[in-house]
Chain A
Amino acid sequence: MKACGFTPLPIYSPSDEYPAANEPVPTEGRCPWSRAFEDMIEQSEFAAVIMTTTCDQMRRTAELLEQDRGDIITLTVPSTTSISSMRLYQSELRRLASFLTSRSGTPPTSGAILGAAASIRPRASQKAARTPVCLLGSHLPVPFDVFEAILEEHGACIAIDGMEAGPAFAPSLDDFTEGASLEGTINALGEAYFSQIKDSFSRPNSAFYRWLSLELKSAAPKGIIIARNCWCDKWAIEGIRIREWTGLPTLELEFTSGELSVSAISRLEAFMETCRND
Chain B
Amino acid sequence: MTEIPNRITVKEWDRRFAEDAAKLMDAHVPYLKPLTAYVEEGDTRLTRLKFDPSPASLWLWNFLLSENERLSAKLEDGHRLVGTMKDLGTVPVMAYSLPNLTAFYPDGAWWIPCIMEANASALKAAEELGINESVCPVRAMVGAIAAESDFPVPGLMVCAVGATCDDFSALAQFINGLGHAIHWWELPHRRAPAAGEESVTLQGGLSAPASLVSFVVEQLAEIRKALSKYAGSELTDEALRLGITEANRARSLIREIRNAVFSSKKRLLSAVDLLIAEMLIIHFCSDRDECIRLFEAILSEVRQREAVEPDSDAVRIFWVNPPSDIKAMNILEDCGMRLCGTDFMFTHSLSAIPEDLPPLEALAMCVLADPMIGPTRDRAGMITAESRRLGAEGIVVSRIPGASHCAFEGSIIKELAGEELDIPVLELEIPPVCDAYEQSMRGRLEALRETVIARRTSQ
Chain A residues, Cβ within 8 Å of B25:
none
B189 and A53: CB pair below 8 A?
yes
Chain B CB count within 10 A is highest, among A98, A205, A233, A240, for: A233
Closest to B136 in A: A233
**Interface mask (B148-171 → A, CB under 8 Å = 1, otherwise 0):** 000000000001011111110111
Indicate which residue in B162, B170, B182, B376 contacts A204 across the interface (CB closer than 8 Å): B182
- Chain A residue nearest to B176 in the complex (CB): A204
Pick from A58-66, A103-111, A261-269 the stretch touching chain B.
A58-66
**Interface readout for A60-85 with B: 1 if CB under 8 Å, 0 if not?**
11011011000000101011101011
Would B186 and A234 count as touching, CB distance under 8 A? no
Interface size on A, residues (CB 8 A): 45
A80 and B185 contact, Cβ closer than 8 Å, known pairs A56-B164, A234-B166, A241-B177 = yes
Whether A176 sits at the interface, judged by CB under 8 Å, is no
A91–B176 Cα distance when bound, in Å, is 29
Whether A29 lies near B403 (C-beta < 8 A) is yes
Q: Give the interface SS of chain B, mostly helix, strand, loop or mixed.
A: mixed
B65 contacts the other chain (CB 8 A): no
Structural contact, A240 and B131, CB atoms closer than 8 A: yes
CB pair A80–B407 under 8 Å, yes or no, is no
A225 to chain B, nearest CB (A): 17
Q: Is A231 an interface residue (CB 8 A)?
A: yes
Which segment, of B67-75, B215-223, B271-279, B341-349, faces chain A? B215-223
Nearest CB of A to B177, in Å: 5
Are the C-beta atoms of A80 and B186 separated by less than 8 Å? yes
Assess whether A84 is in contact with B131, with CB atoms less than 8 Å apart.
no
- Most B Cβ at <10 Å: residue of A27, A30, A55, A60: A60
Q: How close is B82's CB to chain A, nearest CB, in angstroms?
A: 18
Q: In the complex, A61→B412 CA distance in Å?
A: 12
Say which residue of B136, B163, B429 sits within 8 Å of A59 (CB atoms). Answer: B163
Contacts of A63 in B (CB 8 A): 375-377, 408
Enumerate B168-218 residues with CB–CB distance to A below 8 Å. Answer: 169-174, 176-177, 182, 184-186, 188-189, 191, 194, 211, 215, 218
Instruction: Specify which chain B residues have a CB less than 8 angstroms from the CB of A82 in the assembled complex.
Output: 186, 222
Chain B: residues with Cβ within 8 Å of the partner, total of 48
B134 at the interface (CB under 8 A from A): yes
From B170, which residue of chain A is reached at the shortest CB distance? A237
Nearest CB of chain A from residue B5's CB, rounded to whole Å: 32
Q: How many Å from the CB of B386 to the closest CB on chain A?
A: 20
Partner of A236 from the list B135, B191, B218 (CB cut-off 8 Å) is: B135
B115-133 interface (Cβ within 8 A of A): 129-131
Please give, as numbers and ranges, the residues of chain A lying within 8 Å of B174 by CB-CB distance.
237, 240-241
Does B7 sit within 8 A of A, measured CB to CB? no
Least CB distance from A214 to B in Å reads 18
- A64 CA to B377 CA, complexed, in Å: 9
Q: Are A79 and B186 in touch, CB under 8 angstroms?
A: yes
Q: Does A88 lie at the interface of the complex (its beta carbon under 8 Å from any beta carbon of B)?
A: yes
A237:B135 contact, CB within 8 angstroms: yes
Q: Is the CB of B215 within 8 A of A84?
A: yes
A30 and B176 in contact, given A56-B165, A236-B134 (Cβ under 8 angstroms): no
- A243, B457: Cα distance in complex, Å: 61
Residues of B within 8 Å of A60, CB to CB, are 376, 404-405, 407-408
Q: Is B402 an interface residue (CB 8 A)?
A: yes
Report Cα–Cα, A30/B134, bound state, in Å. 12
Contact across chains for A79 and B169 when beta carbons are under 8 A apart: yes
- Whether the Cβ atoms of A78 and B188 lie closer than 8 Å is yes
Q: How far is the CA of A66 from the CA of B404 in the complex (A)?
A: 19
Could you tell me the distance in whole angstroms from the C-beta of B417 to the nearest C-beta in chain A? 16
CB-CB under 8 A from A84, the residues of chain B are 186, 215, 218-219, 222
- Contact partner, B170, options A28, A80, A233, Cβ 8 Å: A233
Interface residues, chain A, CB within 8 Å of chain B?
27-31, 53, 55-57, 59-61, 63-64, 66-67, 74, 76, 78-80, 82, 84-85, 87-88, 91, 95, 98, 201, 203-205, 231-234, 236-238, 240-241, 243-245
Known A28-B406, A84-B218; further 19 A-B contacts with Cβ < 8 A: A30-B404, A53-B162, A56-B164, A56-B165, A57-B407, A59-B189, A63-B376, A67-B377, A76-B191, A79-B184, A79-B186, A82-B186, A85-B186, A88-B186, A91-B211, A203-B169, A204-B173, A231-B404, A233-B170
Q: Would you mind naming 22 contact pairs between A and B with Cβ atoms under 8 Å apart?
A: A29-B399, A29-B406, A31-B404, A53-B189, A56-B163, A56-B166, A60-B407, A61-B408, A76-B163, A79-B162, A79-B186, A80-B184, A84-B219, A88-B215, A204-B182, A231-B407, A233-B170, A234-B170, A237-B173, A237-B174, A240-B129, A240-B131
